[in-house]
Amino acid sequence: MTYAAAGVDVEAGDRAVELMKSAVRRASRPEVLGGLGGFAGMFDASALARMTRPVLATSTDGVGTKVAIAQALDKHDTIGFDLVGMVVDDIVVCGAEPLYLTDYIATGKVVPERVAAIVGGIAAACAEAGVALVGGETAEHPGLLGPDEYDVAGAATGVVEYAAVLGPHRVQPGDSVVALASSGLHSNGYSLVRRVVAGAGWSLDRHVDDFGRTLGEELLEPTRIYSRPLLDLIGTEGVAVHALSHVTGGGLAANLARVLPAGTFATLDRSTWTPPPVFGAVARLGRVPRADLERTLNMGVGFVAVLPQGHAARAIEVCASHGIPAWVLGGVSSELEATPDGSAEVVRGAKGVDGGAVQLVGEHRGA
């Protein structure tokens, strides 16, 4: 009995590394020491010595069941953007600059070309985010995963000056909440979405006029990466960003509530935007209640920034310069805004955070 007979092909893993080398080289920074294949990735941190009080920020995540769409379509070069976006953009929330990332791929069978495509997408996304891909691991798990199955995860580290950390301590009543558009579903809620389309009998190759492309192409649309545009926004003169929130699992209201101080309230107006068609399609096909939809999907808002009201216009301009539509979504107050019928659901701190409260009011444009 050999390792290969047990289902693990070491030579295939080595071929995968050879195929990914050129892509990984493009996802680097001057601080990276050594090359691919070391036991640990190394990053020169001497610049931190020049900081007054450097604070390291770290995040880890995956892309959930969106990988099932990539596997079904046999298209693996975009899922890396979802991974990088989910990881590095959590780091930017506190105002930190992401520095480096490591990835992990578990698969039932190492197919070198497939692994290289996955890592190629991760490397391209890292290059876009200005993050170094300093290492990773590909593990073959025969018997645990099917030959065509895989999952991906990543972890990243960033740094910020202690005095520049963003968060609830900066937020004030009167602040504006600015929305940054998502590129689509991003990487959350795919268990619901996949269940809905399966129940409707829709195939991934079905052309959907509202999308202007096939269902599979819409569902595989990569997550937008916000790190560089947001770092530019944070560094823009005349713009004082108080807090940021990455709209991922839990939806818009719950994630914004996490970065508001207790005792404050944010009122967000649905009439300020029209969600992309994919969200309406999921709602109609699955008869998904709006409350559940908003707790699961980003509804077209991938990030929010909280900043002084007078700074919102300039912030929107900065986002537009990076090709990201942005708009004033609502504002922060010290009292909950009363709605005519009192029907607005109030969402308070989530994921263990005793934060503020958020309510969504009104109806979406075109609803």
**pLDDT tier at 8, thresholds 50, 70, 90:** confident
Q: Is the pLDDT reported for residue 70 higher than 60?
A: yes
Residue predicted with more confidence, 254 or 350: 254
Share of residues in the chain with pLDDT > 90 (%): 79
Look at 14-18, 186-190, 219-223, 317-321 and tell me which has the smallest mean pLDDT. Answer: 14-18
pLDDT of 22: 74
Arithmetic mean of pLDDT, 269-277: 96
pLDDT of residue 210: 95
Query: Average pLDDT in the 186-199 region?
Result: 96
The pLDDT confidence band at residue 58, using thresholds 50, 70 and 90, is: very high
pLDDT digits (tens, 9 = 90+) for 326-337: 999 999 998 777
> Which band of pLDDT confidence, cut at 50, 70 and 90, is reported for residue 339?
low
**HEC states along the chain?**
CCCCCCCCCHHHHHHHHHHHHHHHHHCCCCCEECCCCCCCCEECCHHHHHCCCEEEEEEEEECHHHHHHHHHHCCCCCHHHHHHHHHHHHHHCCCCEEEEEEEEEEECCCCHHHHHHHHHHHHHHHHHHCCEEEEEEEEECECCECCCCEEEEEEEEEEEEHHHCCCHHHCCCCCEEEEEECCCCCCCCHHHHHHHHHHHCCCCCCEECCCCEEHHHHHCCCCCCCHHHHHHHHCCCCCCCCEEEECCCCHHHHHHHCCCCCCCEEEEEHHHCCCCHHHHHHHHHHCCCHHHHHHHCCCCEEEEEEECHHHHHHHHHHHHHCCCCEEEEEEEECCCCCCCCCCCCEEECCCCCCCCEEEEECCCCCC
pLDDT band at residue 349 using 50, 70 and 90 as cut-offs: low
How much is the mean pLDDT over the chain?
A: 92
Question: What pLDDT is stored for residue 367 in this prediction?
Answer: 58
- Quick one: pLDDT at residue 338? 64
- Mean pLDDT of all residues in 32-60: 90
Q: What is the pLDDT of residues 146-162, one digit of tens each?
A: 999 999 999 999 999 99
Most confident range (mean pLDDT) of 5-19, 135-149, 302-316 is 302-316
pLDDT of residue 10: 74
Which range is least confidently modeled, 47-51, 216-220, 316-320?
Answer: 47-51
Per-residue pLDDT at 246 = 97
Per-residue confidence (pLDDT) for residue 126, from 0 to 100: 96
Mean pLDDT in residue range 189-193: 96
> At residue 106, does pLDDT exceed 90?
yes
Model pLDDT, residue 129? 96
In the predicted structure, residue 341 carries a pLDDT above the cut 60: no
Mean pLDDT, to the nearest integer, of 92-118? Answer: 95
Percent of the chain with pLDDT over 70: 96
